């Protein structure tokens, strides 16, 4: 095999959803237009569907009676969400412009744009939602990076990339929609040996025992199926993905949630479930980086 990754993209006709569930998820994201996502993305054109990490910059928020305060809150929440992506990208290792990266469950593509801007490489994304893929491709075109950043409607359990052709791949809050053994088998297939896989995810804590009522609420809210930390590590081990970092980001994400819960025009009703489950220890926000061996 060549030491240089090629872009092994198969752009044949889009298959329909592999299961009725995937059809439901495609429809869910096709119709998603929550202000907390669109208003934050409008700050600088990076549209995320994940949560934030890091300390809140109180000085940036302005006084409670500041007429610009809401705008400042939106900007600060968005800064924390982009900081989350930066931490994911930090874990991908030595990525060079000739490499290809894959964003599995790419949403509207904010992480893909950031990855390209950082590494100068090709970034391929897959999502079940045609609306999201169109949105991400439109943004890439507007930025003049559509040669390098590309999204398509595909199932991340059956990705249109050749075996061993990808240097780095990730799931940013998208692994709770699939079986983890199937998912890691597919990442392991597309990654080159020595390549890196990264996930940032919410997972239930086996120390708690079973998924708490808050975790069940989050599952119902998003129509997803949150896995346990144990399942992640076991499914990786079974698929030649060997963790080199497991970072508990729970304490780092709480300030984001506590800030978001104070902004009536942005709350969606799920804030209490995240805050309570992070606090009672039943749920964790985790980064796992693994080497493909």
Ligand X SMILES: C[S@@+](CC[C@H](N)C(=O)[O-])C[C@H]1O[C@@H](n2cnc3c(N)ncnc32)[C@H](O)[C@@H]1O
**Applying CB under 6 A, which residues contact ligand GPP?**
34, 36-37, 49-50, 173, 176, 202, 218, 222, 224, 226, 268, 270
**Which ranges in 50-147 belong to alpha helices (H)?**
58-61, 69-90, 110-119, 130-142
When CB distances to ligand GPP are compared, the closest residue is 202
Rounded alpha-carbon distances, angstroms, from residue 7 to 10, 17, 67, 121, 190: 9, 24, 49, 10, 11
Residues 6+ apart with CB under 8 A from 123: 100, 101, 102, 103, 112, 115, 116, 148, 149, 150
What residues between 77 and 106 interact with ligand X by CB under 6 A?
105-106
Minimum distance from residue 213 beta carbon to Mg ion (Å):
22
Task: Give the closest residue to 129 by CA, choosing from 28, 236, 264, 205.
Answer: 28
* Closer residue to ligand X in complex, CB, 37/212: 37
Question: Can residue 25 be called a binding residue for ligand X (CB under 6 A)?
Answer: yes
Residues 6+ apart with CB under 8 A from 54: 80, 83, 252, 255, 256
* Closer residue to ligand X in complex, CB, 129/192: 129
**Contact region for Mg ion (CB under 5 A) — 17-25, 36-44, 218-226, 267-275?**
36-44
Task: Give the closest residue to 267 by CA, choosing from 40, 52, 107, 35.
Answer: 35
* Residue 277 interacting partner from Mg ion, ligand X, ligand GPP, none (CB closer than 5 to 8 Å by kind): none
Question: Can residue 128 be called a binding residue for ligand X (CB under 6 A)?
Answer: yes
**Contact region for ligand X (CB under 6 A) — 45-53, 72-80, 91-99, 142-150?**
45-53
Question: Can residue 37 be called a binding residue for Mg ion (CB under 5 A)?
Answer: yes
* Closer residue to ligand X in complex, CB, 129/228: 129
Write down the residue that tokens 């489950």 correspond to: 277
* Closer residue to Mg ion in complex, CB, 184/256: 256
Question: Can residue 54 be called a binding residue for ligand X (CB under 6 A)?
Answer: no
Q: Which of 91, 148, 169, 172 binds ligand X (CB under 6 A)?
A: 172
User: What's the CA gap between 98 and 125, in Å, rounded?
Assistant: 17
- Secondary structure letter of residue 174 according to DSSP: -
Beta-strand pair 283-292/241-248: antiparallel
Residues lying near Mg ion in the complex (CB under 5 A): 37
Residues lying near ligand X in the complex (CB under 6 A): 22, 25, 29, 48-50, 105-107, 110-111, 126-129, 132, 155-157, 172-174, 177-178
């Amino acid at each position: 095999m060549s030491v240089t990754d090629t872009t092994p993209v198969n752009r044949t006709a889009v298959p329909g959803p592999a299961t009725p569930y995937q059809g439901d998820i495609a429809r869910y994201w096709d119709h998603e237009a929550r202000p907390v996502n669109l208003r934050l993305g409008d700050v600088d054109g990076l549209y995320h569907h994940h949560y934030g990490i890091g300390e809140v910059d109180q000085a940036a928020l302005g006084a409670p009676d500041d007429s610009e305060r809401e705008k400042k809150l939106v900007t600060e929440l968005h800064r924390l969400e982009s900081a989350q992506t930066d931490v994911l990208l930090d874990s991908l290792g030595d990525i060079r412009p000739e490499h290809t990266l894959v964003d599995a469950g790419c949403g509207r593509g904010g992480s893909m744009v950031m990855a390209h801007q950082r590494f100068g490489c090709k970034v391929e994304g897959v999502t079940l939602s045609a609306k999201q893929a169109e949105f991400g491709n439109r943004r890439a075109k507007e930025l003049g990076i559509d040669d390098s950043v590309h999204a398509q409607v595909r199932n991340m359990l059956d990705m249109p990339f050749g075996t061993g052709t990808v240097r780095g791949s990730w799931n940013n809050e998208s692994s709770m929609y699939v079986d983890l053994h199937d998912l890691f088998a597919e990442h392991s297939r597309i990654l080159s040996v020595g390549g890196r896989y990264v996930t940032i995810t919410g997972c239930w804590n086996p120390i708690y025992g079973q998924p708490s009522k808050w975790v069940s609420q989050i599952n119902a809210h998003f129509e997803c199926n949150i896995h346990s930390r144990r399942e992640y590590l076991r499914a990786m081990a079974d698929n030649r993905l060997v963790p080199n970092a497991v970072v508990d980001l729970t304490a780092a994400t709480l300030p984001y949630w506590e800030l978001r819960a104070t902004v009536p025009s942005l709350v969606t009703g799920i804030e209490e479930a995240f805050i309570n489950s992070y606090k009672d220890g039943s749920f964790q926000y985790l980064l796992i980086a693994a080497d493909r061996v």
